[in-house]
C-alpha cells in the first residue's frame, strides 16, 4: 500500500479529454489549450477514449458527435456514468436543433458548431469548468452541513457514544466511505477506551477498528491524516482502496483516530473533503475532552459527596457502611428492573446522597440509643428537606433529588415529608425505601444482631402496600430467589434463600 501526501488531494491539474475521429482537429485543440495548465489527453479512436474514461479520472470531455460507428452520445453517457460531475461539451459540423436539445437533455453542458473559433472554444471550456467548480463547491458545502449537524449535536445533552457515532456517520456520508471506525484511547494507558463504528458490513469493521492503526501516530504530532492507497480487484473490477487515518488530538495529546475505508473506481478525493474530515476530528476531540472533563469533575464531586456521606456515618455510630450497602442493594434491584446505565449512575449518586440532610440533625438525636420523643422525631424527619437544601443549585446533583426527598414516603400516603401516595411517589424513592429498610433489618446494631433474610423479607411483605410499593417488593423477592445476590461480600455472612416464601399469583414480574 502506498502512502499519499494530503497536499496531493484538491490540487490535481484539471484533466481534459478530447475525442474526435479527425486527428488534425484533436491536434489543433491540444495546441490551442497548451498554454493552459490542463492535463490533456486526445483520442481519434473513440473506442480507446471509452476505455480511458472507464479507467481514469476526467473533469471535462470535448467530443465530436458523429465518429463513424461511434457517436458523441456514447462518450457523453459513459463519461457521466463514471464521473457524475464531469463536464461534457459536444461538437458537430451538422447541427440540428433536435440534436442539440437531445444531448443537452442527456446531461451535456454545451454544444459547439464546427467550425468554431478557438477563442469561443476556450471561453466555453472555462465556463464549463467554472460551472463544475460551483457544483463541487456545493457538494463541499453539503459536507460542511454534516459538520454543522455534528456541532449542533455537541450543544445538546447527547452522550459521548451517541455523539461519536454521529461523527462516524457524518464522516461516512461526507467521504463516501464504506466504513468508518473511531477508536478513542486512554491517554495514560494508551489502550483503546471506546470504539464506535459506522458501516453496513462486518468485514471492514475489522479494518477500521484495528488497534494497529493507532501505531501510525506513535511518533507524530501532526494533525494531518495518513492516506494510503492500494489497487484491489472486487467482483472482477479493478478498484482503488483508500484508507484514511485521521488522528484526534486534544491539546496536542493523542486521544485516538478516525479510520475510513473508501473503495472507488477513481482514486480521487474531492476538494474540501479532507478539510471537513479534519473539522469532524476536531469536533470529536472537543467532545472527548468535554467528556473527560465532565467525568473528572463528576468524580471529584462524588468523592466530595462521599466524604460528606462518610462524615454523617462517622457521627451516626449505628449506621456504619449503611450508605454503601443501600446503594449496592438498590443498584441490584434497579438492574433487575432493567434500568439503563445512565439511570443507574443517577441511582448511585442519589443513594449516596440520600441521607445528606442528617448533617442538620444534632448528634444528641442522631445517636440517641432509646426511642425519640415526638419533637426529636420531627427534627429527625427534617433530614429529607434539609438534604434538598444542601444540594440546591448544584445542577450536577439534580438527579439525586427524588432519592433524597422521597425515600421516607409511604405507599399508603402516611410517610414524610410530603405525604405522597402510591405512584405519586417517585419510583426512585419507592425503590430506595425498600433497599434502605432491608439493610436496616439485616445490619448489626450495637444493641442487637442483624436479622436473617427470612425475617427481613417477611417484614417487607407485611408492609407491602402500606409502607412499600408491592411491585418493588416483588422485584426484590424475584431477585433474591434467583440466588444471584452475594451477601457475603457486603454483610460478611451468607443468607439462606431456601426459606423465602414461594411466589404468589399476584406478584408482578420486574417492570
Ligand atoms: Fe433517611
SS3 assignment, position 324: helix
Compute the distance from residue 344 Cα to the ligand 1 centre, in Å: 20
CATH number at residue 215: 3.30.450.40
Compute the distance from residue 305 Cα to the ligand 1 centre, in Å: 16
Compute the distance from residue 362 Cα to the ligand 1 centre, in Å: 15
Q: Are residues 465 and 342 in the same domain?
A: yes
Q: How far apart are CA 429 and CA 409, in angstroms?
A: 7
Q: Are residues 214 and 174 in the same domain?
A: yes
Asked whether residue 148 is domain-assigned, the answer is no
Compute the distance from residue 356 Cα to the ligand 1 centre, in Å: 8
Asked whether residue 42 is domain-assigned, the answer is yes
Compute the distance from residue 291 Cα to the ligand 1 centre, in Å: 32
* Under 8 Å between Cβ of 246 and 273: no
Where is average pLDDT lowest: 89-98, 157-166, 376-385?
Answer: 157-166
Q: How far apart are CA 447 and CA 508, in angstroms?
A: 37
Could you tell me the CA-to-CA distances from 458 to 370, 440, 452, 488 in Å, in that order?
A: 25, 14, 10, 21
Where is average pLDDT lowest: 213-222, 250-259, 378-387, 420-429?
Answer: 213-222
Compute the distance from residue 316 Cα to the ligand 1 centre, in Å: 12
Element (H, E) at 61: strand 60-64
* Under 8 Å between Cβ of 16 and 125: yes
* Under 8 Å between Cβ of 14 and 59: yes
Positive/negative CA dihedral, 289, 290, 292, 297: positive
Query: Is the predicted pLDDT of residue 299 greater than 70, yes or no?
Result: yes
Q: Are residues 104 and 233 in the same domain?
A: no
Compute the distance from residue 475 Cα to the ligand 1 centre, in Å: 21
Compute the distance from residue 383 Cα to the ligand 1 centre, in Å: 7
Query: Is the predicted pLDDT of residue 7 greater than 50, yes or no?
Result: no
Compute the distance from residue 506 Cα to the ligand 1 centre, in Å: 30
Query: Is the predicted pLDDT of residue 202 greater than 70, yes or no?
Result: no
* Under 8 Å between Cβ of 109 and 62: no
Query: Is the predicted pLDDT of residue 511 greater than 80, yes or no?
Result: no
pLDDT > 90 in the chain, percent:
34
Q: Are residues 247 and 351 in the same domain?
A: no
* Under 8 Å between Cβ of 60 and 16: yes
* pLDDT value at residue 409: 97
Q: Are residues 466 and 376 in the same domain?
A: yes
Query: Is the predicted pLDDT of residue 219 greater than 80, yes or no?
Result: no
Asked whether residue 73 is domain-assigned, the answer is yes
Residue of 179 and 427 predicted with greater confidence: 427
DSSP, res 504: P
Compute the distance from residue 429 Cα to the ligand 1 centre, in Å: 10
Cell numbers that stand for 298 in this block: 463528576
Q: How far apart are CA 196 and CA 185, in angstroms?
A: 12
Q: Are residues 269 and 357 in the same domain?
A: no
Q: Are residues 28 and 171 in the same domain?
A: no
Q: Which domain holds residue 347?
A: 316-491
* pLDDT value at residue 317: 66
Compute the distance from residue 368 Cα to the ligand 1 centre, in Å: 16
Compute the distance from residue 402 Cα to the ligand 1 centre, in Å: 12
Q: Are residues 181 and 219 in the same domain?
A: yes
Compute the distance from residue 46 Cα to the ligand 1 centre, in Å: 88
291, with CB counted inside 10 A (0-12, 13-18, 19+), is middle
pLDDT > 70 in the chain, percent:
89
Compute the distance from residue 428 Cα to the ligand 1 centre, in Å: 13
Give the number of other CB atoms < 10 A from CB of residue 340: 9
**pLDDT tier at 153, thresholds 50, 70, 90:** low
Asked whether residue 236 is domain-assigned, the answer is yes
* Under 8 Å between Cβ of 450 and 442: yes
The total of structural domains in the chain comes to 3
Compute the distance from residue 469 Cα to the ligand 1 centre, in Å: 17
Cell numbers that stand for 100 in this block: 442539440
Instruction: Convert the pLDDT of each residue in 446-460 to its tens digit.
Output: 667 788 899 999 999
Asked whether residue 237 is domain-assigned, the answer is yes
Compute the distance from residue 436 Cα to the ligand 1 centre, in Å: 8
Q: Are residues 321 and 468 in the same domain?
A: yes
Mean pLDDT value of segment 209-216: 82
Compute the distance from residue 404 Cα to the ligand 1 centre, in Å: 8
Q: Are residues 266 and 324 in the same domain?
A: no
Closest residue by Cα to residue 422 from 439, 406, 438: 406
Compute the distance from residue 380 Cα to the ligand 1 centre, in Å: 9
Closest residue by Cα to residue 226 from 4, 461, 460: 4
C-beta contacts of 309-317 below 8 A and 24+ residues apart: 309/352, 309/353, 309/355, 309/356, 311/359, 312/355, 312/356, 312/358, 312/359, 315/358, 315/363, 315/366, 315/367, 316/358, 316/366, 316/367, 317/367, 317/446
Compute the distance from residue 407 Cα to the ligand 1 centre, in Å: 6
Compute the distance from residue 311 Cα to the ligand 1 centre, in Å: 15
Compute the distance from residue 454 Cα to the ligand 1 centre, in Å: 24
* Under 8 Å between Cβ of 508 and 361: no
CATH number at residue 72: 3.40.50.2300
Compute the distance from residue 135 Cα to the ligand 1 centre, in Å: 66
Asked whether residue 458 is domain-assigned, the answer is yes
Residue of 367 and 28 predicted with greater confidence: 28
Asked whether residue 511 is domain-assigned, the answer is no
Compute the distance from residue 470 Cα to the ligand 1 centre, in Å: 20
Q: Are residues 333 and 477 in the same domain?
A: yes
Query: Is the predicted pLDDT of residue 74 greater than 90, yes or no?
Result: yes
Positive/negative CA dihedral, 71, 72, 76, 78: positive
Q: Which residues pair with 71 in a beta bridge?
A: 66
Compute the distance from residue 175 Cα to the ligand 1 centre, in Å: 56
Compute the distance from residue 381 Cα to the ligand 1 centre, in Å: 8
Instruction: Convert the pLDDT of each residue in 301-356 to its tens digit.
Output: 778 777 877 877 787 766 778 888 999 999 999 999 999 988 998 999 999 989 98
Which residues fall within 8 angstroms of residue 417, CB to CB, at 6 or more apart? 381, 382, 384, 385, 405, 408
Compute the distance from residue 374 Cα to the ligand 1 centre, in Å: 17
Q: How far apart are CA 283 and CA 243, in angstroms?
A: 21
Positive/negative CA dihedral, 324, 327, 332, 333: positive
Compute the distance from residue 112 Cα to the ligand 1 centre, in Å: 88
Query: Is the predicted pLDDT of residue 1 greater than 60, yes or no?
Result: no
Compute the distance from residue 452 Cα to the ligand 1 centre, in Å: 22
* pLDDT value at residue 5: 43
Task: Identify the domain boundary among 137, 170, 200.
Answer: 137
Query: Is the predicted pLDDT of residue 4 greater than 50, yes or no?
Result: no
CATH number at residue 442: 1.10.3210.10
Asked whether residue 296 is domain-assigned, the answer is no
Could you tell me the CA-to-CA distances from 406 to 325, 354, 361, 383, 435 in Å, in that order?
A: 19, 9, 18, 11, 13
* pLDDT value at residue 327: 94
Cis before 417 (ω within 30): yes
Compute the distance from residue 290 Cα to the ligand 1 centre, in Å: 34
Compute the distance from residue 332 Cα to the ligand 1 centre, in Å: 19
Average pLDDT for the chain: 84
Compute the distance from residue 501 Cα to the ligand 1 centre, in Å: 28
Where is average pLDDT lowest: 26-35, 170-179, 399-408?
Answer: 170-179
* Under 8 Å between Cβ of 53 and 82: yes
Compute the distance from residue 359 Cα to the ligand 1 centre, in Å: 11
Amino acid at each position: 500500500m502506498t502512502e499519499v501526501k494530503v497536499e496531493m488531494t484538491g490540487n490535481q491539474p484539471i484533466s481534459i479529454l478530447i475525442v474526435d475521429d479527425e486527428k488534425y482537429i484533436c491536434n489543433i485543440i491540444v495546441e490551442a489549450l497548451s498554454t493552459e495548465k490542463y492535463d490533456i489527453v486526445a483520442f481519434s479512436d473513440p473506442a480507446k477514449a471509452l476505455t480511458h474514461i472507464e479507467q481514469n479520472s476526467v473533469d471535462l470531455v470535448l467530443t465530436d458527435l458523429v465518429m463513424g460507428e461511434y457517436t458523441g452520445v456514447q462518450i457523453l453517457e459513459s463519461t457521466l456514468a463514471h464521473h457524475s460531475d464531469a463536464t461534457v461539451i459536444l461538437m458537430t459540423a451538422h447541427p440540428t436543433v433536435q440534436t442539440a436539445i437531445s444531448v443537452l437533455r442527456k446531461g451535456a453542458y454545451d454544444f459547439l458548431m464546427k467550425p468554431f473559433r478557438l477563442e469561443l472554444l476556450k471561453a466555453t471550456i472555462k465556463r464549463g469548468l467554472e460551472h463544475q467548480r460551483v457544483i463541487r463547491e456545493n457538494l463541499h458545502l453539503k459536507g460542511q452541513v454534516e459538520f454543522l449537524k455534528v456541532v449542533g449535536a455537541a450543544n445538546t445533552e447527547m452522550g459521548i457514544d451517541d455523539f461519536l457515532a454521529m461523527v462516524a456517520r457524518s464522516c461516512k456520508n461526507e467521504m463516501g466511505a464504506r466504513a468508518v471506525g473511531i477508536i478513542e484511547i486512554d491517554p495514560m494507558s494508551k489502550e483503546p477506551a471506546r470504539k464506535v463504528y459506522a458501516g453496513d458490513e462486518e468485514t471492514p469493521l475489522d479494518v477500521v477498528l484495528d488497534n494497529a492503526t493507532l501505531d501510525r501516530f506513535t511518533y507524530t504530532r501532526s494533525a494531518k491524516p495518513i492516506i494510503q492507497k492500494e489497487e484491489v480487484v472486487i467482483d472482477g473490477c479493478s478498484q482503488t482502496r483508500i484508507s484514511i487515518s485521521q488522528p484526534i488530538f486534544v491539546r496536542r495529546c493523542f486521544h485516538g483516530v478516525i479510520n475510513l475505508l473508501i473503495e472507488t473506481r477513481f482514486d480521487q478525493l474531492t476538494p474540501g473533503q479532507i478539510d471537513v474530515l479534519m473539522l469532524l476530528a476536531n469536533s470529536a476531540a472537543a467532545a472527548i475532552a468535554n467528556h473527560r472533563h465532565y467525568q473528572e469533575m463528576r468524580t471529584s464531586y462524588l468523592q466530595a459527596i462521599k466524604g460528606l456521606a462518610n462524615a454523617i456515618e462517622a457521627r451516626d455510630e449505628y449506621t456504619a457502611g449503611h450508605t454503601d450497602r443501600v446503594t449496592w442493594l438498590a443498584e441490584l434491584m434497579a438492574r433487575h428492573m432493567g434500568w439503563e446505565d445512565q439511570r443507574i449512575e443517577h441511582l448511585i449518586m442519589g443513594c449516596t446522597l440520600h441521607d445528606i440532610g442528617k448533617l442538620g440533625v444534632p448528634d444528641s438525636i442522631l445517636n440517641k440509643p432509646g426511642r425519640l420523643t415526638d419533637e426529636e422525631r420531627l427534627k429527625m424527619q427534617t433530614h429529607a428537606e434539609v438534604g434538598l437544601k444542601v444540594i440546591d443549585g448544584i445542577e450536577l446533583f439534580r438527579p439525586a433529588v427524588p432519592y433524597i426527598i422521597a425515600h421516607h414516603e409511604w405507599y399508603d400516603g402516611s410517610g414524610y415529608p410530603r405525604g405522597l401516595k402510591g405512584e405519586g411517589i417517585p419510583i426512585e424513592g419507592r425503590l430506595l425505601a425498600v433497599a434502605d429498610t432491608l439493610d436496616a433489618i439485616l445490619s448489626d446494631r450495637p444493641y442487637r444482631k442483624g436479622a436473617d433474610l427470612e425475617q427481613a423479607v417477611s417484614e417487607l411483605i407485611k408492609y407491602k402496600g402500606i409502607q412499600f410499593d408491592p411491585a418493588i417488593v416483588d422485584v426484590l423477592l424475584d431477585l433474591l430467589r434467583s440466588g444471584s445476590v452475594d451477601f457475603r461480600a457486603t454483610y460478611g455472612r451468607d443468607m439462606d434463600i431456601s426459606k423465602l416464601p414461594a411466589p404468589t399469583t399476584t406478584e408482578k414480574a420486574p417492570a
